Amino acid sequence: MRCYVNIPHPISGTISSASFHPQQFQYTLDNNVLTLEQRKFYEENGFLVIKNLVPDADIQRFRNEFEKICRKEVKPLGLTVMRDVTISKSEYAPSEKMITKVQDFQEDKELFRYCTLPEILKYVECFTGPNIMAMHTMLINKPPDSGNCKKTSRHPLHQDLHYFPFRPSDLIVCAWTAMEHINRNNGCLVVLPGTHKGSLKPHDYPKWEGGVNKMFHGIQDYEENKARVHLVMEKGDTVFFHPLLIHGSGQNKTQGFRKAISCHFASADCHYIDVKGTSQENIEKEVVGIAHKFFGAENSVDLKDIWMFRARLVKGERTNL
């Protein structure tokens, strides 16, 4: 029997698994994968941890491919390579010490295997339904803080929906898999249970003294005293969470790099929206600006174009997205 959450020090009232009647389910679809208890937990809290889901052999393959990317032995089309703000101009030779994240690896067959793993998709379908699109892919290599107390390895509290120009939000889910032991010392995920029931909040760059990494937007207005849960995870553990769940990660206080691989999935029945005039307009301008540099300013690219370029059908039939 799989455990569904691993919390070293539960806080009274933080985690809830309230009584539900079937007609009250809003964030999960009828399925024969989740237990009733797991389904209730996700409905109430907006996240669910499945222990030991991804095999060690797969994780090692993902690690090997990431190292090849770092050494520039492979250069997948469309891949975005990111560096920490404190090491982007360093003298490091090509290695994992230079790169803190790769995203949009949909053209890398080895890394994209993660998005097609039957172990992952059988849970994803509980949230999206049978027609599944892989929308956004990342391998995160959280660096150790540089020793100058800048704490730039932190990720501010945010909602992933801020980045997404498609809806409905209840048919979107993130799968986030630990590639090694992850705890508060090396910067585990921190979540605010139940916040998926709220609305999308305005985001912008936090005013942190040590600087902030590119596109690390954070919520500008949230309840600072709201209970938080730190997700301590072992290699292969996978957390599934709603795109409105407020979450982030702490600084990496160790000397090593903390790795995780993730994909945001959505139902192919979702539809694109125009974010102009909304709180998402700031991220649209930033993303489109980067795309213009990549594709050339003469090419007219909008946010929908960028997401259509990233999206890949991984199960069922492609309908809207």
- Round to whole Å and give the CA distance between 183 and 14: 18
Tell which CATH classification among 2.60.120.620, 3.20.20.70, 2.60.120.560, 3.40.50.800 matches the domain 36-315. Answer: 2.60.120.620
Whether the predicted pLDDT of 305 surpasses 70? yes
Whether the predicted pLDDT of 85 surpasses 80? no
Rg (CA), the chain: 19
Mean pLDDT for all residues in the chain: 85
- Round to whole Å and give the CA distance between 241 and 238: 10
Confidence of residue 210 (pLDDT cuts 50, 70, 90): low
- Round to whole Å and give the CA distance between 307 and 112: 16
Which residues fall within 8 angstroms of residue 95, CB to CB, at 6 or more apart? 70, 71
Backbone angles phi, psi at 280, to 5 degrees: -90, 0
Whether the predicted pLDDT of 192 surpasses 90? yes
- pLDDT single digits (tens) 22-68: 568 999 999 999 999 999 999 999 999 999 999 999 999 999 999 99
Backbone angles phi, psi at 20, to 5 degrees: -125, 150
Torsion over CA of 260, 263, 264 and 267, rounded to 10 degrees?
A: -150
- Round to whole Å and give the CA distance between 126 and 1: 18
Whether the predicted pLDDT of 152 surpasses 90? no
Confidence of residue 141 (pLDDT cuts 50, 70, 90): very high
Half-sphere exposure of 243 (CA within 13 A, CB side): 23
Q: In one letter, which amino acid is 309? A: F
- pLDDT single digits (tens) 217-241: 778 777 777 889 999 999 999 999 9
Answer for the pair 215, 162: CB distance below 8 angstroms, yes or no: no
Element (H, E) at 267: strand 258-267
For the chain, the structural domain boundaries read: 36-315
User: Average pLDDT in the 155-168 region?
Assistant: 92
- pLDDT single digits (tens) 171-183: 999 999 999 999 9
- pLDDT single digits (tens) 91-102: 555 566 788 899
pTM of the model: 0.87
User: Residue 124's pLDDT is what?
Assistant: 98
